[in-house]
Structure formats: structure tokens, C-alpha cells
């Protein structure tokens, strides 16, 4: 999935995952997109600081 597709899916309240269903993409209260591990609650940014480059390969993101 592209960054645009991920953001659109989140806006449509779809559950977007990265690599496996334990890593879910969320949008926090500050409008930041994050990849969150549901097991330990650890988060990383969905993108690098440039806000364009995904922290993962496009092919590894999917809608659950």
C-alpha cells in the first residue's frame, strides 16, 4: 500500500497492518500516523522525518 492508500484507509476506519496483524497503523490524537505493536504498545512513526518515506515496504502493508 502507498502512503496515500494507508491514510485513506485509516480515515475510512479500516484496520491497516504492517507485516503481521500485531503491527497496526494508527492515527493518534496529535494527527501523527504510527505503527503500533499491539503486544507491547511500542510505536514508531509510519514515515521517516520527511513524512513521505514509509518505515517499511509498501508491499508489507495491508488491510485486515
Residue 42 is given by DSSP the state -
Gap between the Cα atoms of 5 and 29, Å rounded: 20
The pTM assigned to this predicted structure is: 0.92
Q: Domain limits at 33? A: 3-63
pLDDT digits (tens, 9 = 90+) for 30-45: 999 999 999 999 999 9
State CA 25 to chain mean position distance. 3
Q: Cβ–Cβ contacts within 10 Å for residue 61, how many?
A: 22
pLDDT digits (tens, 9 = 90+) for 8-64: 999 999 999 999 999 999 999 999 999 999 999 999 999 999 999 999 999 999 999
Q: How many domains does the chain have?
A: 1
> In sequence order, which residues have a C-beta less than 8 Å from that of residue 52 and are 6 or more positions away?
3
Amino acid at each position: 500500500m502507498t502512503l496515500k492508500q494507508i491514510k485513506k484507509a485509516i480515515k475510512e476506519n479500516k484496520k491497516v497492518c504492517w507485516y503481521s496483524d500485531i503491527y497496526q497503523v494508527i492515527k493518534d490524537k496529535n494527527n501523527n500516523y504510527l505503527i503500533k505493536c499491539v503486544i507491547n504498545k511500542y510505536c514508531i512513526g509510519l514515515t521517516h522525518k520527511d513524512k513521505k518515506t514509509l518505515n517499511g515496504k509498501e508491499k508489507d502493508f495491508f488491510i485486515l
